[in-house]
Amino acid sequence: MTFENHTVEKIGGTSMSRLNELVDTLFKRDEPSKIYNRVFVVSAFGGITNLLLEHKKSGEAGVYACFANDEDDHGWLDALSKVATGMRQAHAAVLSNAADISDADDFVRDRVEGARSCLIDLQRLCSYGHFRLSEHMMLTRELLSGLGEAHSAYVTTLALRREGIDARFVDLSGWRDEREMTLDERIRDGFADVDPARELPIVTGYAQCKEGLMAEFDRGYSEVTFSRIAALTAAREAIIHKEFHLSSADPNLVEGEVHKLGHTNYDVADQLSNMGMEAIHPKAAKTLRQADVPLRVTNAFEPHDPGTLIDDQPAETASAEIVTGLDVHALELFEQDMVGVKGYDAKILELLTRHGLRIVSKTSNANTITHYVDAPLRDIRKVERDLNAVYPSAELTIQPLAIASVIGRDLSGLKALANGLKALAQADVDVISAHHTTRAVDVQFVVPRKDLSQSISALHGAFFQEGETPEVAPEARKAA
């Protein structure tokens, strides 16, 4: 299943909420011939997945969380009604034609009521002793999550057809489909008679499959679908459209001008993901890298700017490319008897994995192991409880901190650690710890959480002098 000279492009949820603007800036082209030979994979409209599952940042319960707790039937039913309301508000804000809005309303009604009936039947089935609701929760999570992408893809198709574009809704969510397929089979089935040269496929970011995307990727599944479509169809390029350019720092945090990256590689993309600034999910990046498909990250609302090209090429010269940061908690285990004894680190890693805590960085010495984790404090407390049971004589401390990081394809020869420490000292930031690996692609500075913004600004000033811009790939300069 391959097409000729096409791109596969993904739009995130925040950008999708500005769909009416995207029609003019992204989907339309100055020449009709440029409209096609593109495949678009879309996320749910901003905020909808939070209503369906749980709020990504605050943890506020959505339909899934209410259904999982099952304390009150009305809880998840009310939450599902909020989803329907949210969906209707989302498409009413981007569709201008009354007939299209009515069509979208009908679509929401069909999908939401179908999900409601399914969950009621599941509850009834599990009221018998032979069935356990817990055994069906991951499938429930997938069912609910798929509603968001199906809705946004359908609405996008309506909006584009209204503008005279031959758009096609490609639903990979498996709605009312009894067939069991792998991800590749689901994609091939969805594209069986699609002709990107003559029509514009609008594809759901969620794909129902045997593997169960959410079990491994949770809410990163849309990028996995996107990357797999690009690989299977032998795309010329994979493109992710965001609301901003990948720049040398957050412009809201630094003084002076920030610079668009222009060109970097998948190694840097992995480091950004580790710091919570995800250009693309690491597993999706691996798929593109292995298929030899370059990735481009653009600003969806600046269609003539080529954005940043991400490929597997090394840097031509050593340079810093981006400064970023992340709030973390330091989980420190001190045990005087640790010296020369194996197994401490393995046990900590086992517990962190069991509780689903993401490790950003770690340090150790003779009797102390510190993991810097990106996780809510309540989850870290669970690990602390289990570690106290395993190592009752150890001292455990949890401290809210932050990591500021300088990242680049090649930092060798820049004295990144020394210059970073100097810049932070001049900014009166008390550096708690610093890490610089032999691979020379990043250097990390652990700082008090209150000093993170100041640290990013200071490091950016040290590594990006006024007028200096990172390398721009020739391919990026030429891209249309």
* The predicted structure's pLDDT at residue 469: 45
Pairing between strand 7-11 and 38-42?
A: parallel
Q: Per residue of the chain (480 residues), give pLDDT as tens.
A: 678 789 999 998 889 999 999 998 899 887 777 899 999 999 999 999 999 999 887 878 899 999 988 655 678 999 999 999 999 999 999 999 999 999 999 999 999 999 999 999 998 888 787 777 778 889 999 999 999 999 999 999 999 999 999 999 999 999 999 899 999 999 999 999 999 999 999 999 999 999 888 877 777 889 999 999 999 999 999 999 988 889 999 988 888 789 999 999 999 999 998 998 877 888 888 999 999 999 999 998 888 899 999 998 999 999 999 999 999 999 999 998 888 788 888 999 999 999 989 999 999 999 999 999 999 999 999 999 999 999 999 999 999 999 999 999 999 999 999 999 999 999 999 999 999 989 999 999 999 999 999 999 999 999 997 544 444 444 443 443
**Percent of the chain that is helix, strand, coil (3-state, to 5):** 45, 20, 35
User: Rounded distance, CA 111 to CA 106, Å?
Assistant: 9
Name the strand (E) or helix (H) holding 231: helix 221-232
- Residue 303: Cβ-neighbour burial (10 angstroms; 0-12, 13-18, 19+): middle
* The predicted structure's pLDDT at residue 129: 73
* The predicted structure's pLDDT at residue 72: 57
User: Rounded distance, CA 280 to CA 177, Å?
Assistant: 30
Sequence-distant (≥ 6) Cβ neighbours of residue 324 within 8 angstroms: 249, 250, 272, 275, 277, 404, 405, 407, 456
* The predicted structure's pLDDT at residue 257: 86
Answer for the pair 323, 255: CB distance below 8 angstroms, yes or no. Answer: no
What tokens were used for 249? 């720092």
* The predicted structure's pLDDT at residue 356: 87
In one-letter notation, the amino acid at residue 208 is Q
User: CA angle 128-132-135, nearest 5°?
Assistant: 150
In one-letter notation, the amino acid at residue 265 is N
* The predicted structure's pLDDT at residue 71: 56
* The predicted structure's pLDDT at residue 73: 65
